[in-house]
Structure 1
Amino acid sequence: MKKAFFLLAVLLLSTHLLKAQFDDKFYFPNKTWKALDSSMQVEEVNLPVDTVTLNALFFKPVGQPKATVLFCHGAGGNVTFYQYMVKPLVEHGYQVFMIDFRGYGKSSGKPTHLNIACDGQVVFDYLLGRPDVKGTKMLLFGASIGTQVATRLARDNGDKIQALVLDGAISSFTDLAAAYAPAEQQAMIKQYLTSPYAAKTDIPFVKLPVLIVHSKEDKEVPFALAEAVYNAAIGKKELYIYSGTHLAAMKENAGEYVNKIDRLIY
C-alpha cells in the first residue's frame, strides 16, 4: 500500500491535473478464494446490481442471532481474508453478512469510491428485506478502507441501525494518501486528490453509539487518522486502543473486543 501511495504522490507532483479521485490507487482486489472456516455455518449470496454481480457470505450463529452485522472489508484481499475478524462475533451470537465489493473475490466489476458507496446501500436495503434479518438489531462494521463506506451508510441510515464499529479507521481518502507522501508533497495531494465522501465529515451526523478500534503501532493507517474520526464524532463513542498491527485487535483480544461491541447494543 505504501508503494501505491508514493506512486500517486509522484504522479500528482509531475503532472498538472485537475482534481481527481484516483480510485485505482486505493483498491487492491484479490480473486484468490481462501478456504471457508468449516466451524461456521455460511450461506453464499449473489446480488445483481446494474451490470455486475456482488458476491457475499452470510455467517450464521447457533440459535437465534442477537444482532445482524454488515461487514465492509478493507482495501486488499476479499471477504475470505477477513474471516478471522468475524468468527468471534459469530461464536458470540451475531450473524454477519460480508459483502465483496466490485472486483473482489467472486464479485464482478471494478471498484471506485462512488460505486462501492452505492453498492453498500443496495446491500443494506437487501439485508433489511430478508426475513432472517427483520426484527434483529443492525450494526455496521467497517475495516480499514471499509470504514469510509460504513460511516456513510450510518449517516444515511441512522434510524435503521443501532451501532457503528470502525476498525483501522480512515479519516478520508485524501488524508490516507497524504499520510504516505513525503512532507513536501502533502499539500499538493490535499489540493488535487478529492474525497467524494469521508468518515471525518460524515461522523458528526451519526447519532449512534460508535466504537473506534485502532493501534498506535499501526503501520498501514496512522493512528492520527482514526483519532480525527473519533474527535469528530458527537454521540456516545469509545476509542479502543490495542497493541498490535493493522486490523489485529480481534486476534489480540477477541473477548474484550466482542464485549465492547455487546455494550453498544445492550
Structure 2
Amino acid sequence: MEIIAWLIAVYVAFCLLALFGHRWFMYFPDATRVAPAAAGLDGIEEVEIAAEDGTTLVAWYAPAKDGKPTLLYFHGNGANAANRTPRIRTIQDDGFGVFYLNNRGYGGSGGTPTEEHNVADARAAYDHLIGLGAPADSIVLYGESLGSGQAVRLAAEKPVAAVVLEAPLTSTIDVARPIYFWLPLGLLITDQYNVERAIGSVTVPLLILHGAQDAVIPVDLGQRVYRAANEPKHIEVFPQGGHLDFFDHGAWEKTRAFLAPWGHGSTQQ
C-alpha cells in the first residue's frame, strides 16, 4: 500500500507541475532588445505598442513597396526579431512590408507570454498596423510554429488578405501527448492554441508550409490543420525540411508566388 500511495503522490506531483508550470516548457523567451540597424537591417524602424493592459510591446516595421502586401509576423516559442533577421531581410528585399511583433518577454517586450496575452497582443499589433496606413486587404498574417495560433485566431476576427502558416500545430496538447501521454493534458494545460479548431472560422486564402522531417511539430499535424481548413487553401511539404528551416528549401519562393495576387494594390508610405 505504501508503494501505491507513493506512486499516486508522484503522479499528483507531476500533474501539479504540468498545471502550474507548463508555460516554463512552452515559452523560451529571448528578452534581448536589439535595434534593427544593430542587426544589420536598413529601412526598418522599431515601434512600441501599448497592449490593452498597458504592457509595452516592441515590434519591427518596414512598409511595403510597389503596392505589395505587408506580412504581420507572429514568431514561435523561441525566437525574436533579431533571431529572424535573415528572413526579414529576404522578405524586405522583395518589397514586401513586414510588421514583426515581439511577444511578451521577447525582444524587449514587457510582460510574460500566455495564450490569452499573445492573442490580445496580436489584435493590438493589427490595429497599430492599420493605424500606420496599411489597408486591411493588404495585410497577410504569417504565423510561425506556435505563432500560427495567433495568426489563425486573428484571421477569424479581423479582415485580412490571406494567411500563411509555417509548421502549424493542431494544438499544444497534440504536440506534448507523445511524450506526456500518461498525463491528462487537456485538463492541465491552459495555453492550448487549438489551431485545428480555430482554422474553421478562417475564410481567406491559406498557405501551409511544413517540413516532412519536422521533429518538433510533425508534418501530420500540419496536414490535419490543412484538412480542417476552408478553401481556398494550399499546402507545401518540403521533403528535406525540418522545423523552421523552410527558407533553405524554397519556402519563400512558394510564399511569394502565393502572394502574387496581392502584388498590385495601394502602395503604403
Give TM-score, length-normalised by structure 1.
0.84
Name the residue aligned to 1:44.
Answer: 46
**1:48-127 aligned within 5 A:** 48-49=50-51, 50-60=53-63, 63-127=65-129
Name the residue aligned to 1:4.
Answer: none
Residues 57 and 99 in structure 1, CA contact (< 8 A), matched pair in contact too: yes
Instruction: After TM superposition, give the deviation of residue 141 of structure 1 in Å.
Output: 0.1
Residues 23 and 113 in structure 1, CA contact (< 8 A), matched pair in contact too: no
Q: Whole-Å Cα distance in 1 between the matches of residues 132 and 182 of structure 2? A: 45
Where is the strand percentage greater, Structure 1 or Structure 2? 1
Q: Based on CA coordinates, which of the two structures has the bigger radius of gyration?
A: 2
Unaligned runs of 5+ residues in structure 2 are: 1-9, 264-269
Instruction: After TM superposition, give the deviation of residue 195 of structure 1 in Å.
Output: 4.7
Name the residue aligned to 1:32.
Answer: 32
Residues 150 and 164 in structure 1, CA contact (< 8 A), matched pair in contact too: yes
Instruction: After TM superposition, give the deviation of residue 250 of structure 1 in Å.
Output: 1.3
CA change 1:19–1:35 in 2 (3 A) is closer
Alignment partner of 1:77: what SS? coil
Q: How many residues align?
A: 250
Alignment partner of 2:244: what SS? coil
> Which amino acid letter does the alignment assign opposite residue 233 of structure 2?
K
Name the residue aligned to 1:174.
Answer: 173
Instruction: After TM superposition, give the deviation of residue 235 of structure 1 in Å.
Output: 1.5
Root mean square deviation of aligned Cα:
2.6
Q: Whole-Å Cα distance in 1 between the matches of residues 11 and 83 of structure 2? A: 30
Alignment partner of 1:69: what SS? strand
Name the residue aligned to 1:3.
Answer: none
CA change 1:245–1:109 in 2 (3 A) is same
Alignment partner of 2:44: what SS? strand
CA change 1:198–1:229 in 2 (3 A) is same
Q: Whole-Å Cα distance in 2 between the matches of residues 65 and 88 of structure 1? A: 17
Q: Whole-Å Cα distance in 1 between the matches of residues 121 and 236 of structure 2? A: 29
Instruction: After TM superposition, give the deviation of residue 249 of structure 1 in Å.
Output: 1.1
Q: Whole-Å Cα distance in 2 between the matches of residues 54 and 39 of structure 1? A: 20
CA change 1:18–1:55 in 2 (3 A) is closer
Alignment partner of 1:123: what SS? helix
Instruction: After TM superposition, give the deviation of residue 69 of structure 1 in Å.
Output: 1.1
**1:94-243 aligned within 5 A:** 94-131=96-133, 133-134=134-135, 137-157=138-158, 160-181=159-180, 185=181, 188-195=184-191, 197-242=193-238, 243=240
Give TM-score, length-normalised by structure 2.
0.83
